[in-house]
Amino acid sequence: MEDELEDRIFYQSFNIHMKLISKFVVGLPLNSSHLNHFWRLFRLYIIKPEVLLLGLLMIIVFVYIQAVEVWSRSLVNKLRLSLSRSAQSRIHKSQFFNGDVESSSWDLREDSVAVYAVQGRRAKMEDRFVINKNIDGTGVSLFAVFDGHGGDFAANYAHDHLIENLSKKIKELKKLIMNGSIEKPVLGKPPPSPKPTLRKSVILERKSSLKRGSTEAEEAIKRAGGLNDPLLLEKLESYSRTITREVKPSRTPIVQYPTPELTSYIEGNMSINYGRLLSDEVLAVDRLLVEAAKKNLDVAGTTALIAVMEGSKLIVANVGDSRGVMCNSKGKAIPLSFDHKPQQSREKKRIEEAGGSVSFNGVWRVAGILATSRALGDYPLKDRKLVIADPDILTFELGDHKPEFIVLASDGLWDTFSNEEVVSFIRTRLHEPHFGAKSITLQSYYRGSLDNITVLVINLSDYKWP
């Protein structure tokens, strides 16, 4: 009974309020006759095909106007951004032609090989390159690009010692083959510490002068061995973080690796196994580099892209994300190497099995730090096997492809160009003094590359293939 009484009271109160609203707001009493009247008017004037169609068109026009307003604002913003970038590009170009960018660029041409490099938007130039044609009359040519990161210590070390060791062994092997006396001489030990020597084709110096004073790497070498305080060593060893941007010296004993016999690189047909030679030398120099870096607390690392040419044979060793590409006789792009990136399934699996991780920090990185999964140096990551220096070796018979040219470049170029775009761009500019290397380097810079950019072009368009 009480519930029914409450319902009646609520219903009566609701009716009273509705009548008051109808009387003072609408001005009409709320009863069924008026509701029927409004319904008839609604059906007569509102629910008609022409009225509904007109209303639909008005809604479409209203939505369109709103969308155009949003699109126009977006378009204006895009135009402003485009104008800003265009102005910035003009500034960069004017700076280049006024000499500002020119002073941070390097170039070299030797016969059919040319290279052009710019520091770009980086605070320091950490790329290095090598042009070593016909090593001491052996008929073997060696080309390389090193892309340093975290400093130029590793790039300088690799460029000095790796190239020197390779050239020396190639000359010795050629001499053994020529003399026909395979006596299995044992290689001497590589240099225990880096002592960079000046090579015009490798050290990137300002165009104003090819001479230089001591580099930061050399200064660090002079200070090597100074960290012998046992209290400081114990303090560094007590750090709990194992993978950080900070570093500490390793006190683990140095492992002695056996030195391969020189004749082990000579095959039965008296040819050199360049793939094995490149692999062994890259790993040997990496071990020495890591030892030197630990003494100096230097976390620098470098990629390595090395190409050896003998006759129609091309052997390419790659560690990291510098890249090579070849333009065949039909103008098609043939990859000479493949980037080592942490997100690749093979690399990611290896890193995770070693106890590491791959995370996204702008790009995919090993332990959130390094954007390439293979490199020389980088000893904090190398000690945990998260980063390795094992090179991928690819061998090509150039007579099968009859290439027009070959491009080796650091990833500053590949951030803005694909393989196919590079081949298409260079192919129309082989007539230029640098065979298109300068043009594409500057174009990559204007496209917004944020890295050092080094491009090496080997022009084979006039080569007479057997």
DSSP state of 344: S
Q: Please list the pLDDT of the chain residue by residue as tens digits (466 residues).
A: 555 666 677 667 666 766 665 555 445 454 566 667 667 776 666 777 777 788 888 888 877 776 655 455 455 455 544 544 454 444 344 344 444 555 688 999 999 999 999 998 898 999 999 999 999 999 999 999 999 999 999 999 999 999 999 999 999 999 998 887 565 444 444 444 443 333 334 444 434 322 333 344 344 434 444 334 444 344 334 433 333 333 444 444 555 666 778 888 988 888 899 999 999 999 999 999 999 999 988 899 999 999 999 999 999 999 999 999 999 999 999 999 999 999 999 999 999 999 999 988 888 899 888 999 999 999 889 988 999 999 999 999 999 999 999 999 999 999 999 999 999 999 999 999 999 999 999 999 999 999 999 999 999 988 877 6
Q: How many CB atoms lie within 10 A of CB 124?
A: 11
- Is 263 in a helix, a strand, or coil? helix
Round to whole Å and give the CA distance between 113 and 437: 10
> Whole-model pTM?
0.67
Annotate 65-100 with b (16+ C-beta within 10 A) or e (fewer): eeeeeeeeeeeeeeeeeeeeeeeeeeebeeebeeee
Return the closest-CA partner of residue 305 out of 442, 417, 155. Answer: 155
Return left, alpha or beta for 73; rule: phi > 0 is left, psi -120 to 50 is alpha, else beta: alpha
Alpha helices (runs of H) in 208-265, residue ranges in sequence order? 216-223, 230-237
DSSP state of 102: G
